Amino acid sequence: MEYDIRREPVYGSMRLDKTRLVPYNRESALEAAELLKYGELVAIPTETVYGLAADALNENAVKQIFRAKGRPQDNPLIVHIASMKMLPPLVREIPDTAKALAERFWGGPLTMIFPKSDKVPCITSGGLDTVAVRMPASEAACEIIKRCGFPLAAPSANLSGKPSPTTARHVFEDMNGRIPLIIDGGECEVGVESTVICFKGDKIHILRPGGITAEMLSEFGEVEVDRAVTAQPEKDERVLSPGMKYKHYSPKADVYVVNAHGKTFEEYCIKRSRFENDLIVLGAGVAERGVFHDYGSTPEIQAQRLFALLRKADELGAKTVLVEMPEHSGMGLAVYNRLLRAAGFKIIELEKEYGNN
């Protein structure tokens, strides 16, 4: 940790030979905060996925995020805070429902969209006049934000288009040479990104499903789920959340969601694996054997494992990945949403042909 930022003043995120990966502790949190104060990028753990953080209020620092990720500039970032005190300067208005939701679900995997104040640079909000804010539950993330004293813009710390990172090793695979520091806080608990909501009058509108489910939110008002959560946007359709229009979470392999369960699903996959090399299967609660990998028997476990398994598909050199259709309610909606995008909305319908079993 004898890394002196004054002796090596400019790493310019793309010019590094090597990125340091250090475990989260008091010292590394301090070092992360120092780098962030200098306008550098640091990858930090959160309870959802790893984030690629920069000072949210520093235009030049935020620009580096888009560069390091290869992210389109019209895709806005989430601003992370560590206390309720940090919210009012970022926004023009806080609806009562938002106050109630913050009280109940912050720190946690819920992102809320507010009209933005002038303090938030346009680059952070992707040119929109709104800003997405979340307070993470992760101790590491909050500690680093507190040490900085300013909010952190942090998208998922993957290269744009790749599955989000749920371990520090995933971040290293994508960001080595692009950023100076990765803080390793272990495996992310939730495994998929936060729920993103906006407010339409009294209604809570879900733009991206996540760990705080529609069912949980419905205690606080009428909840509607944006069409883009489960449907492919039409060409040129205006989507409320710009992130929804990009291909996402994709391994190199072709991913298909297979709408079948139990024996129907397994027999279909076995049949295909006889004729196709480089095929792997992610089944919900299947016994691990041959081409079959278990992606979890509950939506919560599936969320934790999904991105790591999509990355593993690449490591295994898979050309095709067949994934058993997840549930569509509770946390299942978040898993389904990520899978649809990983699959480019390709669904193989077997239920209709063979009936449900």
DSSP string, 28-43: HHHHHHHHHHTT--EE
Q: Which residue has the tokens 């998929």?
A: 192
Nearer to ligand TXA, 162 or 293 (CB): 162
Among positions 267-326, residues that touch ligand TXA (CB under 6 A) are none
Distance CA 161, CA 37 (A): 28
For 219-230, b/e burial (b = at least 16 CB within 10 A) is ebbebebbebbe
Stretch that binds ligand TXA, among 108-116, 171-179, 296-304, 332-340 (CB under 6 A): 108-116
The yes or no reply on residue 155 touching ligand TXA (CB under 6 A) is yes
Query: 61 phi and psi, to 5 degrees?
Result: -65, -45
113 sits near ligand TXA (criterion: CB under 6 A): yes
Q: Is 232 exposed, middle or buried (0-12, 13-18, 19+ CB in 10 A)?
A: middle
Asked if 195 interacts with Mg ion (CB under 5 A), we say: no
Torsion of CA 199, 55, 166, 281, to 10 degrees: 60
Residues in Cβ contact with 278 at an 8 Å cutoff, skipping those fewer than 6 apart: 253, 317, 318, 319, 320
Residues in contact with Mg ion, total (CB under 5 A)? 1
Q: Which amino acid is at 67?
A: R
Which residue in the block uniquely carries the two structure tokens 């040490």?
147
User: Which residue, 170 or 208, has its beta carbon nearer to ligand TXA?
Assistant: 208
Binding of residue 189 to ligand TXA (CB under 6 A): no
Q: Please identify which residue in 207, 280, 308, 335 interacts with ligand TXA, judged by CB under 6 A.
A: 207
Q: Which residue is nearest to ligand TXA (CB)?
A: 243
Encoded one letter per residue, x for contact with ligand TXA by CB under 6 A and - for no contact, window 209-228 reads --------------------
CB of 148 to ligand TXA, least distance (A): 15
Instruction: Look up tokens 């909000």; give the residue.
Output: 125
The correct pick among 68, 78, 229, 335 for binding ligand TXA (CB under 6 A) is: 78
Residue-by-residue DSSP string for 53-99: EEETT-HHHHHHHHHHHT--TTS--EEE-SSGGGSGGGBS---HHHH
Residue 76 binding result from ligand TXA, Mg ion, none, given CB thresholds of 5 to 8 Å by partner type? ligand TXA
- DSSP one-letter string for 254-308: EEEEEE--HHHHHHHHHHHHHH-SSEEEEETTPPPBTTEEE--SSHHHHHHHHHH
For Mg ion, what does the binding mask look like between residues 117 and 156, x meaning CB under 5 A?
---------------------------------------x
Residue 43 interacts with ligand TXA (CB under 6 A)?
no
- Does position 111 interact with ligand TXA (CB under 6 A)? The reply is yes
CB of 304 to ligand TXA, least distance (A): 13
Cβ proximity to Mg ion: between 23 and 344 the closer is 344
Q: Shortest gap between Cβ of 34 and ligand TXA (angstroms)? A: 21
Contact partner at residue 79 from Mg ion, ligand TXA, none, CB < 5 to 8 Å by partner kind:
none
Distance CA 55, CA 90 (A): 13
Joined together, the tokens standing for residue 106 give: 């912050």
Neighbours of 159 (CB within 10 A): 16
**Nearest approach, Cβ of 69 to Mg ion (angstroms)?**
8
Query: Which residues contact ligand TXA (rule: CB under 6 A)?
Result: 46, 48-49, 51, 75-78, 109, 111, 113, 125, 128, 130-132, 134, 154-156, 193-194, 196, 207-208, 240-243
Query: Which residues contact Mg ion (rule: CB under 5 A)?
Result: 156
